Amino acid sequence: MSCSAVSHPPSPSLIDRFGRRIDYLRVSVTDRCDLRCSYCLPKGFKDFAEPAHWLTHAEMLRLVGLFTGLGVSKVRLTGGEPLLRRGVVDLARGIAALDGLTDLSLSTNATQLARHAAALKAVGVSRLNVSLDTLDARCYASIAGSDRLAAVLAGLGVAKQVGFAPIKLNMVVQAGVNEADVDEMVAFALAQGFVLRLIEIMPMGDAGRGSRFVDVTTLGQSLAQRYNLLPAIKGRDAGPARYWISRDGSMSLGVITPLSQHFCAACNRVRLTVDGTLHLCLGQDDQVPLGTLLRAGASDAELIAAIRRGIAAKPERHEFNTRPDKIIRFMAQTGG
């Protein structure tokens, strides 16, 4: 056989057509949430996925296992609010045991965190991202639709007590809403040893487009100067956030800037919704119906082929700036 005729097996890694290695999967275990944050879900929204269409834990574990077999090493459980999904701790235990997984994290609004934090830590969840947009109870209730701030702060306290570190606070900054609360959030994060990340609103659905954008690139630079923070050296696994740290390492501030300074060239992630739809980009409609294929009897080989086709079609970047009205689905329907 000539050298030119030698065939090689496909790479075990997922590489898209732009040379980006996809090694991070976000898994939405439910699209339900006990809050109605103004930028995420509109008031009165009821168009949630039917429970019959939700992937079972076994089905989720099967799909996630295929991804880890293809080189995905980081998984984040999201929602909606993932802690509303019954048995989520058992699901986390199963995912944590998968070969090839090096990092299992969870995004939460923390209203249910106090009673789940110890169990999550025990089964292998290593990191937490907590959505917290303000420490002002009235402002919190205005954004979230109900006053659950005390429960969130209690959850953060338990998570810190059981050893989660770092705990990242994600603050979506909105002009005229909570922009004035940033300094108090910085002080709180510093006092508690949390990492604060300021996030720009994304125009997803009517709720996202109805919120007023703040350029957190400029805001972050201003805060870094005021607190004498230094730019942090960004490793490959740092994700989309850009960080500044204090000289003694006691304070860390990050910004996530999908609009003012997008990070699509380094995108390494895809998202799996509760019904098994694989979304390849938050700001595009490209998707792969893995859940439908699975329930139609697809073999692992067929599912892997579908995953690879999806990754090959992953868009180069979002169009939030040029086509802000394009994405009509809400953030909770995709997974944060």
More confident residue, 47 or 64: 64
Distances (CA, A) of 107 to 26, 167, 266: 10, 10, 21
Q: Mention every residue, 6+ apart, whose C-beta is less than 8 A from residue 248.
A: none
pLDDT band, very low/low/confident/very high, at 54 (cuts 50, 70, 90): very high
DSSP string, 12-41: SS-B-TTS-B--EEEEES-S--S---TTTS
Mean of per-residue pLDDT scores for the chain? 87
**DSSP tag of 71:** T
**Nearest-CA neighbor of 170 among 287, 13, 39?**
39
- Residue 333, pLDDT > 80, answer no
What DSSP string describes 132-173? ---S-HHHHHHHHSS--HHHHHHHHHHHHHTT--SEEEEEEE
Parallel, antiparallel or unpaired: strands 242-245 and 230-231: antiparallel
Per-residue pLDDT tens over the stretch 67-121: 999 999 999 999 999 999 999 999 999 999 999 999 999 999 999 999 999 999 9
Nearest alpha-carbon partner for 270 in 74, 80, 130, 59: 74
Q: Quick one: pLDDT at residue 283?
A: 72
Q: Which domains does the chain have, with CATH numbers?
A: 26-334 (3.20.20.70)
Q: What is the mean pLDDT of residues 62-68?
A: 98
Each residue of 104-131: b (16+ CB within 10 Å) or e?
A: bbbbbbbbbbbebbbebbebebebbbbb
Under a CB-based contact definition with an 8 Å cutoff, are residues 59 and 303 in contact? no
- pLDDT, tens digit, for every residue of 116-127? 999 999 999 999
**What pLDDT is stored for residue 265 in this prediction?**
80
- Contact (Cβ atoms closer than 8 angstroms) between residue 240 and residue 266: yes
Instruction: Provide the pLDDT for residue 316.
Output: 85
pTM for this predicted structure: 0.88
| 8-state DSSP, 55 | P
Confidence at 209, pLDDT banded by 50, 70, 90:
very low
DSSP 8-class letter at 210: T
User: Which pLDDT score, from 0 to 100, does residue 2 have?
Assistant: 39
